[in-house]
A and B are shown apart, each in its own frame.
Chain A
Amino acid sequence: MPHRWGMAADLDRCTGCEACVAACHAENNIPTVGADQSARGRAMHWIRIERYWEGEFPEVDLKFRPVLCQHCDNAPCEPVCPTYASSHNEEGLNAQVYNRCIGTRYCANACEYNVRFFNWNSPVWEKPLHLQLNPDVSVREVGVMEKCTFCIQRINAGKISAEADKRELKDGDIKPACVQSCTANALVFGDLNDPESAVSRLARSTRGYKLLEDLGTLPKITYLQRETWHESNS
């Protein structure tokens, strides 16, 4: 059976530290665009931490939510691309073929999670940052769309080393950069086709929900609801 990669994000564990964001930038050669361009909405973060304040002071509640590509089974970004740059691969990932992208930006408009990012300008890495580019990941050029790949280079590397060792791929062998860097273990990655994998078990949790589930996009990321508690009522 082919793999079907998915993730679970435990909102009770997430501290909003953004280590995942930094790790993702480093792993995937995501350019930083500077303060000016950021203010104009050109920042690129394949994973972001959304911060929500709830309630009135002093009874305020702070909530974090890591949001990355949901790798929808029924992805709105895919059918709209006129050149198949945005397409589904056999392991359920929403793949983006950079070379095939002509830059209509329709996929990003169709994506309700706003997790697609466009190279508005030529990416630059100020010296010596250019030395830390990850050789396993292609550097995108100006005018193409990019997005979370679930660290497909790590998925492939994991499969290759399992094959080299003549063994089956184990749950937990593959960790995307965000998962690896998560200090609170809030993010769990694995094969949803393996019912015993950690991510499958979490996906079945009663706390689990999908982001914008009612849209029918069938996301492969399960969010585990936060248990609400306040110091006043504990």
Chain B
Amino acid sequence: MNPIAERQMTDDILRPVLETSSKFYLIVALLGTFVAAGIGTWFYQVYNGLGVTGDNWPVFWGFHETNFVFWIGISHAGTLISAILRMVDAGWRRPVTRCAEAITAFALMIGAMFPLIHLSRPWLAWWLIPYPSERQIWPNYRSPLAWDFFAINTYLTGSLLFLLLPMIPDFALVRDRTTGFRSRVYRALALGWTGTPKQWARLESAMHIMAIAIIPVAVSVHTIVSFDFSMAIVPMWHSTIFGPYFVAGAIFSGIAALIIAMAILRKVLRLENYLHPIHFQNLGKLLLTMSLLWGYFVFNERLTTWYGNQPHEMGVFWATQAGRYAPLFWTMVFCNFILPLPILSIRKLRTITGCVVASCGVVIGMWLERFLIIVPGLGHKPITFSWGTYTPQWVEIVIMAGSIAAMGLLYVLFSKVVPIISIWELKAGERELEHMRAHAETQTAAAEATAGELV
């Protein structure tokens, strides 16, 4: 790679970090308003009690818990995808990984807020921390909610490390290109990076360790989230399929979120030269695989329930299949399966626009899936006298909108502070390609020479 092209690449990717347009402030203000509204609404809910939500007897969980599972699901975009792609050394991953890892970190932060938001007495949430107390009361380790607490904290720590490690060389790059206060901030963030071979070797091995460690953590975290439901004997919750079903769904919605985020970044930050259609196509293929896997899981879950014909479960089954929740259920099937399948399997349709359309469908569909897992089961427990339904109130809707805005806000601020494409990895990729090309050329030359000799 010639130095001019390399310089051009660095300039292009660093431009959003170093130059700020008025649009940036506008977007931040807009998203910030929504986030503030969400936080304010949460305070309103804490002050007034959960009576302001739509939760009721017998549907004690609703939108807040749906959002919790949804965001934790979205968080599987990143770390898992980029860890797997790193491990199999897929070259096309290079411009994608940081977008993905950032989604993980932010979606997880937002998702982890919902267990707090849904508590009626959130100021006591610290009772989940196993601190030594003179009363010798510990958290109840038999409770899936306690498992959640540890699983999510582990995953958050791991994914933050996974995000931060490969940012060090890029921080050093920004440090060298800025002056004054900003330079000092990046100097601190770069942790004394000078780019010696020893530092590179350490970074590489640290990344390898994290990539391997984060995969089981990511799988276990969403399995444990699924345990919140499958451990209870609520009809259609108590299912052995939930672990893998949730993990598959999480990766599915995560890839979709990643495609949407990448498309927006590509447009807004003018990264057309780095995020190519091939990246969207490859992610589209992954999304297609997950869509098929998701369809397989849903088919399995529904068929075994229907065939088993247990009266307790059939109440929930028919409510989702043909009753009150049927419009949501069939919208979900459309969004997650019928819509993405042709778009992603026909090559002509698998364009950037096509992938984004399919991804939007998947994100909506996966949100509906989480809702349809939680609510109908609670509304149709075995005693028919206690059947009930759920209607969300404005409090839950505003908080949900705030959480979506928070994702946008964190992402916008992140792309302002950190190069959203890993510059050093991109360069390393280019160099690798050049090296391979040169290697191939010398080999052809050598082969020709040998052939000449033989002749």
SS of B interface (majority) = loop
A106 and B145 in contact, given A41-B56, A81-B140, A117-B57 (Cβ under 8 angstroms): yes
In the complex, A84→B139 CA distance in Å?
Answer: 7
CB pair B383–A212 under 8 Å, yes or no, is: yes
CB pair B139–A109 under 8 Å, yes or no, is: no
In the complex, A42→B137 CA distance in Å?
Answer: 31
Q: Quick one: closest B residue to A77, CB to CB?
A: B232
Interface residue? B61 (CB, 8 A): yes
Expressed in whole angstroms, the minimum distance between the Cβ of A83 and any Cβ of chain B is: 5
Q: Count chain B CB atoms within 10 A of each CB in A81, A119, A143 and give the residue with the most.
A: A143
Expressed in whole angstroms, the minimum distance between the Cβ of A140 and any Cβ of chain B is: 12
Which residues does chain B contribute within 8 Å of A109, judged by CB atoms? 60-61, 232, 234, 378
CB pair A102–B140 under 8 Å, yes or no, is: no
CB pair B146–A82 under 8 Å, yes or no, is: yes
Which residues does chain A contribute within 8 Å of B51, judged by CB atoms? 37, 42, 120-121, 142
Interface residue? B50 (CB, 8 A): yes
Looking at B28-36, B122-130, B207-215, B420-428, the stretch in contact with chain A turns out to be B122-130
Q: Count chain B CB atoms within 10 A of each CB in A52, A106, A122 and give the residue with the most.
A: A106
Q: Count chain A CB atoms within 10 A of each CB in B139, B144, B234, B383 and give the residue with the most.
A: B383
CB pair A110–B233 under 8 Å, yes or no, is: yes
In chain A, residues 42-86, which have Cβ atoms closer than 8 Å to a Cβ of chain B?
42-44, 48, 50-52, 65, 67, 76, 79-84
A83 and B139 in contact, given A118-B57, A215-B233 (Cβ under 8 angstroms): yes
Which residues does chain A contribute within 8 Å of B232, judged by CB atoms? 76, 80, 106, 109-110
Interface residue? B98 (CB, 8 A): no
In chain B, residues 315-331, which have Cβ atoms closer than 8 Å to a Cβ of chain A?
none
Q: Quick one: closest A residue to B390, CB to CB?
A: A41
A143 and B49 in contact, given A109-B61, A109-B234, A114-B383 (Cβ under 8 angstroms): yes
In chain A, residues 79-127, which have Cβ atoms closer than 8 Å to a Cβ of chain B?
79-84, 100-106, 108-110, 112-114, 117-122
Interface residue? A40 (CB, 8 A): yes
CB pair A81–B143 under 8 Å, yes or no, is: yes
SS of A interface (majority) = loop
Interface residue? B198 (CB, 8 A): no
Interface residue? B348 (CB, 8 A): no
CB pair A82–B121 under 8 Å, yes or no, is: no
Which residues does chain A contribute within 8 Å of B59, judged by CB atoms? 41
Interface residue? A9 (CB, 8 A): no
**How many residues on the B side are at the interface (Cβ–Cβ under 8 A)?**
42
Which residues does chain A contribute within 8 Å of B115, judged by CB atoms? 104
CB pair B57–A43 under 8 Å, yes or no, is: yes
Q: Quick one: closest B residue to A215, CB to CB?
A: B233
A102 and B121 in contact, given A76-B233, A80-B143, A82-B143 (Cβ under 8 angstroms): yes
A79 and B140 in contact, given A104-B119, A109-B232, A118-B60 (Cβ under 8 angstroms): yes
Expressed in whole angstroms, the minimum distance between the Cβ of A7 and any Cβ of chain B is: 17
A83 and B60 in contact, given A76-B233, A105-B55, A109-B232 (Cβ under 8 angstroms): no
Interface string of B95-126 (1 = CB under 8 A from A): 00000000000000000000100111110110
Q: Quick one: closest B residue to A84, CB to CB?
A: B140
Q: Which of B119, B124, B127, B383 contacts A50 (CB 8 A)?
A: B383
Which residues does chain A contribute within 8 Å of B231, judged by CB atoms? 80
Interface residue? B267 (CB, 8 A): no
Interface residue? B388 (CB, 8 A): yes
In the complex, A67→B232 CA distance in Å?
Answer: 21
Interface residue? A144 (CB, 8 A): yes
In the complex, A211→B58 CA distance in Å?
Answer: 18
Which residues does chain A contribute within 8 Å of B127, judged by CB atoms? 82-83, 100, 102
Expressed in whole angstroms, the minimum distance between the Cβ of B189 and any Cβ of chain A is: 36
CB pair A104–B118 under 8 Å, yes or no, is: yes
CB pair A82–B60 under 8 Å, yes or no, is: no
Q: Which of A41, A51, A79, A113 contacts B383 (CB 8 A)?
A: A113
Which residues does chain A contribute within 8 Å of B120, judged by CB atoms? 102-103, 105, 118-119, 142-144
A119 and B143 in contact, given A41-B58, A42-B56, A43-B57 (Cβ under 8 angstroms): no
Q: Quick one: closest B residue to A41, CB to CB?
A: B56
CB pair A103–B55 under 8 Å, yes or no, is: no
Which residues does chain A contribute within 8 Å of B61, judged by CB atoms? 105, 109
A–B pairs, 21, beta carbons within 8 Å: A41-B388, A80-B144, A80-B232, A81-B140, A81-B143, A82-B127, A82-B149, A83-B140, A84-B140, A102-B124, A105-B60, A106-B232, A112-B233, A112-B382, A114-B381, A117-B57, A118-B120, A120-B51, A143-B121, A144-B120, A212-B383
- Interface, chain A (partner B; CB < 8 A): 37, 40-44, 48, 50-52, 65, 67, 76, 79-84, 100-106, 108-110, 112-114, 117-122, 142-144, 211-212, 215
**Contacts beyond the supplied A42-B51, A80-B145, A102-B122: 6 A-B pairs with Cβ under 8 Å:** A67-B385, A80-B232, A108-B58, A120-B49, A142-B49, A143-B121
